[in-house]
Amino acid sequence: MEQQAPSLAVILLSEDLEKLHAGALVGSVASMSGMTVNVFVTMNALKSFRKDSFETTDFITGTIGKEMLAKKIPLFDSLLQEGKDMGELNIYGCALAMDIMDWQEEDMIDVFDGVIGVTKFLGMTQGATVITM
């Protein structure tokens, strides 16, 4: 019997740059290490994925986040894209939160594999290790 690769579900819900970056880093490294990774972007984290917020670096930052921006370190979008390019990583926006805010997928940076509900995400990630940032 073939053993299924371990899977990871990352739920990003904070707009804190450090939390977004940490979640993206963990997800990207897990993907590149052979894990199947599904990322769900919901609540306040969605704001940071909006094109206008991202382009103006309108993030909540602490000490590390301020240094990351000052040193122009590649941000969470780059980490997520690397995970997609070098492994199995999927990113989904939360349909409910986007509906509440009247945001469309076109308003977001180009990393999403779709906009789905919580029920669908939970079905996709059944049995996965879950981390929340």
pLDDT tens digits, one per residue of 9-33: 999 999 999 999 999 999 999 999 9
| Residue-level pLDDT at 128 | 97
Residue 59 domain flag: yes
In a domain, 76, yes or no: yes
Closest by Cα among 118, 111, 76, 112 to 97: 118
Residue 93, strand partner residues: 41, 115
What's the domain range around 16? 7-132
Q: What is the mean pLDDT of residues 67-71?
A: 97
Asked whether residue 1 carries a pLDDT value surpassing 60, the answer given is no
Element (H, E) at 66: helix 63-70
Any domain includes 27: yes
Kindly report the pTM of this predicted structure: 0.95
Residue 1 domain flag: no
Question: Could you tell me if residue 105 is inside a domain?
Answer: yes
**Domain annotation covers residue 28:** yes
Tokens encoding 19: 């939390």
Mean pLDDT of the residues in the chain: 96
The pLDDT tens digits of the residues spanning 87-104 come to 999 999 999 999 999 999
- What domain count does the chain have? 1
Domain contains 100: yes
88, part of any domain: yes
CA distance 112 to 125: 17
Q: In CATH, what number is assigned to the domain containing residue 101?
A: 3.40.1260.10
